Structure 1
Amino acid sequence: MTVESTAARGKPRRPAAKRTAGKRQQPQPGPKPEMVQLLTPEGERVEHPDYALETTPEQLRELYRDMVLTRRFDAEATALQRQGELGLWPSLLGQEAAQIGSGRALRETDYVFPTYREHGVAWCRGVDPTKLLGMFRGVNHGGWDPASNNFHLYTIVIGSQALHATGYAMGVVKDGADVAVVAYFGDGASSQGDVAEAFTFAAVYNAPVVFFCQNNQWAISEPTERQTRVPLYQRAQGYGFPGVRVDGNDVLAVLAVTRAAAEHARTGQGPMLVEAFTYRMGAHTTSDDPTRYRRKEELEVWEAKDPLLRLRRLMERENAADDAFFTDLDAESDALARRVREAIRTMPDPDGMAMFEHTYADGHTLVDEERAQYGAYVASFADHHEGD
């Protein structure tokens, strides 16, 4: 029935100004969210009343080295995927400060639950970067022992690791351990029910967990403004624990904030949410084309905030490193790239029958049947080759 025919029957029309169904309402203007920053994009140190940080030239060099080598590894993995050596790769380009700053803020005894992009955190936890490649090459399900580095296997299911971390943290309380548990996730995952449930459990049980959200502005092709009407860190208030937004491209600020959040958790004060406000410079994964949904001008704005560039500017301003340091780091970076290329190309293919092992503790008739069927299928290729 048309609007005209409805009006003709005496039913009032809704005024045009009130027809908002189906239209996205813009967030109401309000005060700009505070963001903790200790290092400006120009490389100048600034102070924050709640997050003081003292650094030595050696510490600055170490943080810079971490970010350079992590970026080089990531670039090499992206190139290997383009060459067909990996099935997929999720780049961390642009998020080095968020990961290195937070990773270096943790104690060895703390436990980390990552997503699938925390290559920099893995580096800080001592995981060999070549171990990160196995899953994306399809030769294993992780490649490292989580207990060896207190760094859990990568989690592909979006947001589920927040619940895993919360459950682990609840167990830590039962054990009486002086440990902080950290759950990494992105802005897209913050829209998942698993994350909301994790917030609830963590708050109610006062779990020593730090929820570390890397807000890189894009949940694949969906901008953050389509996911929330308030800054992400403010969501913590509704669950009864504190949240803070930190400049995710400022490695010093991330280090200071994460260190404080971890101590908050360890000392029995419960969970805390850290929103690292950063930007994904590359594609979501190598199967994604970001030029289809974001503007070049936006990328250029964030390129000026590059986390490596701003720390190098500080180091140069404070004479924290000489030319020899940067030259040696370039050589170390090239050596790492060569090692990564060699490792990926020499990874042995897994036994195809191994997928049927370790599924059940005891035998299972259905698995036995599937194993036999697959074995016969594989054998048929050998029989065909012999016939030729």
Structure 2
Amino acid sequence: MTMVHTLTPTADLKTDVDDVARLLTADGERIHDSDLDGWVADLDAAQLRALYRDMVLLRRIDSEGMALQRQGQLGLWAPSNGQEATQIGTARVLRTDDFAFPSYRETGVVYARGAKPEGFLRAWRGEAHSSYDPHELGTAVQQIIIGAQALHAVGYAMGIQRDGADQVVATWFGDGATSQGDVNEAMVFAASYQAPVVFVCTNNQYAISEPVGVQAKAPIAGRAPGFGIPSMRVDGNDILAVTAAMRWATEHARTGKGPAFIEAVTYRMGPHTTSDDPTRYRDKDELERWRERDPLTRVEAYLRSIGEFDDAFAAQVQQDADELGAAVRPTCLAMTSAPALSILDNVYAEPHTGLDEEKTWFAAYLDGFAEEAQR
């Protein structure tokens, strides 16, 4: 499959967000797309309800994270509100032995890979470099350096090739990261070596505060074929379309055909992070237009239209979300700060004299604060 729904250069890409592959309208009407239908032909109502539940739980995790940061319990939080379909739809397609390389915003990927409440929070609270064991979840540490995870993913995928295995690697990054050298260099390596990696570009319309049209005059998915990588541009708020695209991409990579690229067109409903004020660079009308494209309400509407969503199911999902929310908060509040000197404990695989010197210097530095407090 080659790239679908190609656009020509335009002055404002934000006006062209409807030119994407889609299987569910914003009102929950099922439409058909020959490029996508076959990839979700086996997806039944029970599976779609499970995906809906995942998205509701992710939104609850996100709301708890936002509240905890505002209350001073987390140092920072990167909201995922509005991007649930992109994160859940891609992550749930992966096998347990595949490996994920998320960016800092992919809380949904971490959740779908099996993280418990502590796994969403510890690093954001500043207690550890990672909130979870990457080997246990098959998920690398969430990357804060823009685009760096793309290079890590390709390197891991090239290792899979040399092992003769059939796992695939997936990596996520935003539209802003596509302007970084790391992402472009990763695609060069992936295409040159036909590495089994899937690039997922979450186009949420803003690179921090710059709209996507400032850095891209044509769809981002159109860049990948220039590297020799087939790509697809889908509605990132449509869980069916995202699932179909990810199934295509992982099958392509798993069967030795090389890398694949997905541009999921979605929207960041909240701030870039809790240190950001989005009211400074976008207007309320734009926000309301995207609110009408909510990924959760469209799935609910579709399931209701086919008689697969009732009040009992809605109540059960809400109860599950409440239970998860109730677990997130005390987990965070129960965390204790590690000694400052422990920051050097896992920097190297083995101890050495240079590290001993660093610890001695850092300990003396910390002692200086204690002396100052006693004066």
1:226 counterpart = 2:214:
yes
Partner of 1:98: 86
How far 1:364 moved relative to its partner? 2.8
Letter matched to residue 152 of structure 1: A
1:191 counterpart = 2:176:
no
The answer (yes or no) to whether the contact 1:119–1:129 under 8 Å persists in 2 is: no
TM-score scaled by length of structure 1: 0.88
Partner of 1:114: 102
User: Structure 2 vs 1, CA of residues 384 and 226 (structure 1 numbering), >3 Å: closer, same or farther?
Assistant: closer
Residue pairs, 1:337-376, within 5 angstroms: 337-360=325-348, 361-365=350-354, 367-376=355-364
Residue pairs, 1:254-333, within 5 angstroms: 254-333=242-321
1:44 counterpart = 2:29:
yes
The answer (yes or no) to whether the contact 1:249–1:307 under 8 Å persists in 2 is: yes
1:278-317, CA deviations, whole angstroms, 9 ceiling, x for partnerless residues?
A: 0000000000000000111111110000000100101111
User: Structure 2 vs 1, CA of residues 33 and 205 (structure 1 numbering), >3 Å: closer, same or farther?
Assistant: farther
Return the alpha-carbon distance in structure 2 between the equivalents of residues 231 and 80 of structure 1. 36
1:76-132, CA deviations, whole angstroms, 9 ceiling, x for partnerless residues?
A: 100000000001000001000001111111111211100011111111111113312
How far 1:26 moved relative to its partner? 4.0
- Secondary structure at the aligned position of 2:267 is classed as coil
Higher relative contact order (CA 8 A, sep 6+): 2
Which moved further from structure 2: 44-53 or 248-257?
44-53
User: Structure 2 vs 1, CA of residues 247 and 61 (structure 1 numbering), >3 Å: closer, same or farther?
Assistant: same
- Secondary structure at the aligned position of 1:107 is classed as coil
Partner of 1:123: 111
The answer (yes or no) to whether the contact 2:17–2:265 under 8 Å persists in 1 is: no
Letter matched to residue 99 of structure 1: Q
User: Structure 2 vs 1, CA of residues 33 and 338 (structure 1 numbering), >3 Å: closer, same or farther?
Assistant: closer
- Secondary structure at the aligned position of 2:173 is classed as strand
- Secondary structure at the aligned position of 1:233 is classed as helix
1:300-348, CA deviations, whole angstroms, 9 ceiling, x for partnerless residues?
A: 1100000001001011111112211111211221111111010000012
User: Structure 2 vs 1, CA of residues 221 and 384 (structure 1 numbering), >3 Å: closer, same or farther?
Assistant: closer
Return the alpha-carbon distance in structure 1 between the equivalents of residues 370 and 210 of structure 2. 48
Runs of 4+ in 1 over 3 A off after TM superposition: 25-28, 31-34, 367-370, 376-385
Structure 2, gaps ≥5 residues long: 1-9
The answer (yes or no) to whether the contact 1:233–1:243 under 8 Å persists in 2 is: yes
Partner of 1:4: none
Structure 1, gaps ≥5 residues long: 1-24
Return the alpha-carbon distance in structure 2 between the equivalents of residues 381 and 221 of structure 1. 38
The answer (yes or no) to whether the contact 2:117–2:327 under 8 Å persists in 1 is: no
The answer (yes or no) to whether the contact 1:60–1:320 under 8 Å persists in 2 is: no
- Secondary structure at the aligned position of 1:182 is classed as strand
TM-score scaled by length of structure 2: 0.91
The answer (yes or no) to whether the contact 2:117–2:331 under 8 Å persists in 1 is: no
1:214 counterpart = 2:199:
no
Letter matched to residue 88 of structure 1: L
1:73 counterpart = 2:58:
no
Residue pairs, 1:22-33, within 5 angstroms: 26=11
User: Structure 2 vs 1, CA of residues 319 and 170 (structure 1 numbering), >3 Å: closer, same or farther?
Assistant: same
Partner of 2:143: 155
1:173-215, CA deviations, whole angstroms, 9 ceiling, x for partnerless residues?
A: 1111111110100000010000110111101101111100000
Partner of 1:13: none
Return the alpha-carbon distance in structure 1 between the equivalents of residues 104 and 242 of structure 2. 20
Partner of 2:223: 235
How far 1:368 moved relative to its partner? 3.3
Identity of aligned residues (%): 49
User: Structure 2 vs 1, CA of residues 164 and 384 (structure 1 numbering), >3 Å: closer, same or farther?
Assistant: closer
Partner of 1:17: none
The answer (yes or no) to whether the contact 1:57–1:321 under 8 Å persists in 2 is: no
How far 1:352 moved relative to its partner? 1.7
How far 1:33 moved relative to its partner? 8.4
1:84 counterpart = 2:72:
yes
The answer (yes or no) to whether the contact 1:105–1:256 under 8 Å persists in 2 is: no
Which moved further from structure 2: 241-250 or 124-133?
124-133
Query: CA RMSD for the aligned pairs?
Result: 2.0
Letter matched to residue 340 of structure 1: V
Return the alpha-carbon distance in structure 2 between the equivalents of residues 356 and 35 of structure 1. 47
Which moved further from structure 2: 255-264 or 315-324?
315-324
Return the alpha-carbon distance in structure 1 between the equivalents of residues 216 and 370 of structure 2. 56
How far 1:34 moved relative to its partner? 4.8
Return the alpha-carbon distance in structure 2 between the equivalents of residues 334 and 362 of structure 1. 45
How far 1:379 moved relative to its partner? 4.4
Return the alpha-carbon distance in structure 2 between the equivalents of residues 269 and 107 of structure 1. 18
Count of aligned pairs: 360
Larger radius of gyration: 1
Return the alpha-carbon distance in structure 1 between the equivalents of residues 359 and 200 of structure 2. 41
